[in-house]
Structure 1
Amino acid sequence: MTDQQQPLPAHTSTPRTAVPQSNRVLREILRGSVVTSILAVVVALVVGGVLIALTSEDVREAAGYFFARPGDTFSAIWQSVAGGYEALFRGAIYNTRAEDVATGIRPLTNTLGNAAPLIAAGLGVALAFRVGMFNIGAQGQILFGAALSALLTFRLDLPLAIQLPLTLAAGILGGAIWAGIAGIIKARTGAHEVILTIMLNYIAVYLVDWMVSTAGVLQKAGSNQPISAATPEGAQFAPLFGAAFPNLDVGFLIVIAATVFVWWLLERSSLGLRMRAVGENPHAARAAGISVKRIYVYAMLFAGGLAGLAAMNQIQGAVTTGFDSHIDAGFGFDAITVALLGRSRAWGTFAAGILFGALKAGSYSMQASEGIPVDIVLVVQALVVLFVAAPPLVRTIFFLPKDESEKSARARARAARKAVA
Structure 2
Amino acid sequence: MFSNNRLTNILIPVISVVLGLLSGAIIMLIFGYNPISGYAALWNGAFGDAYFFGETIVKVTPYILSGLAVAFAFRTGLFNIGVEGQVFVGWLAAVWVGTAMDLPMVIHLPLAILVAALAGGAWGFVPGFLKARFGVHEVIVSIMMNYVALYTCNALIRSVLTDNDDKTEYVNDSASLASTWLSDLTGFSRLHFGFIIAIIGAIIMWFILEKTVKGYELRAVGYNPHASKYAGMNVNRNIILSFIISGGFAGVAGAMEGLGTFQYMSVNNAFTNIGFDGIAVALLGGNAALGTVLAAFLFGTLKVGALNMSSSGVPQELVDIVVALIILFVASGYIIRWALSRFKKEEK
- Whether TM-score is above 0.5 comes out as yes
What's the secondary structure of 1:33's corresponding residue? helix
Taking the TM superposition and a 5 Å limit, the aligned residue runs for 1:41-80 are 41-55=17-31, 59=32, 80=34
Query: Which residue in 2 is equivalent to 1:202?
Result: 147
Taking the TM superposition and a 5 Å limit, the aligned residue runs for 1:85-234 are 85-93=39-47, 95=48, 104-214=49-159, 217-219=160-162, 221=163, 224-234=164-174
Call closer, same or farther: CA 1:155–1:350 in 2, change over 3 Å: same
Out of 165, 177, 182, the residue aligned to residue 241 of structure 1 is 182
Deviation digits for residues 269-309 of structure 1, max 9, x if unmatched?
A: 11111111111111011101111111111101110100011
Aligned counterparts of 1:373 and 1:401: Cα–Cα separation in 2: 38
Aligned counterparts of 2:124 and 2:208: Cα–Cα separation in 1: 18
What's the secondary structure of 1:324's corresponding residue? coil
Measure how far apart 1:151 and its partner are. 3.4
Measure how far apart 1:228 and its partner are. 2.1
Q: Which runs of 5+ in 1 are unaligned?
A: 1-24, 60-76, 96-103, 408-421
Out of 335, 340, 343, the residue aligned to residue 400 of structure 1 is 340
Aligned counterparts of 1:167 and 1:148: Cα–Cα separation in 2: 7
Call closer, same or farther: CA 1:327–1:253 in 2, change over 3 Å: farther
Q: Does 1:352 align with 2:301?
A: no
Deviates more, 1:284-293 or 1:142-151: 142-151
Query: Which residue in 1 is equivalent to 2:38?
Result: 84
Measure how far apart 1:242 and its partner are. 4.0
Query: Which residue in 2 is equivalent to 1:262?
Result: 205
Q: Which protein is bigger by CA-based radius of gyration?
A: 1
Aligned counterparts of 1:402 and 1:111: Cα–Cα separation in 2: 38
> Which letter does structure 1 place at the counterpart of 2:280?
T
Deviates more, 1:138-147 or 1:243-252: 243-252
Query: Higher helix fraction: Structure 1 or Structure 2?
Result: 2
Call closer, same or farther: CA 1:319–1:327 in 2, change over 3 Å: farther
Deviation digits for residues 177-210 of structure 1, max 9, x if unmatched?
A: 1001221222111111111101211111111121
> Which letter does structure 1 place at the counterpart of 2:139?
V
Measure how far apart 1:145 and its partner are. 1.4
> Which letter does structure 2 place at the counterpart of 1:92?
A
> Contact 1:31 / 1:402 at 8 angstroms: preserved in 2?
no
Aligned counterparts of 2:56 and 2:292: Cα–Cα separation in 1: 15
**Normalised TM-score (structure 1):** 0.76
Measure how far apart 1:26 and its partner are. 4.3
Aligned counterparts of 1:158 and 1:363: Cα–Cα separation in 2: 40
Call closer, same or farther: CA 1:284–1:29 in 2, change over 3 Å: closer
Measure how far apart 1:322 and its partner are. 3.4
Q: Does 1:271 align with 2:211?
A: no
Query: Which residue in 2 is equivalent to 1:4?
Result: none
Deviation digits for residues 357-404 of structure 1, max 9, x if unmatched?
A: 11011101112x1132221111111111100111233356xx522499
Aligned counterparts of 1:184 and 1:53: Cα–Cα separation in 2: 50
Measure how far apart 1:144 and its partner are. 1.2
Q: Which runs of 5+ in 2 are unaligned?
A: none
Instruction: Give the total of aligned pairs.
Output: 342
> Contact 1:116 / 1:310 at 8 angstroms: preserved in 2?
yes
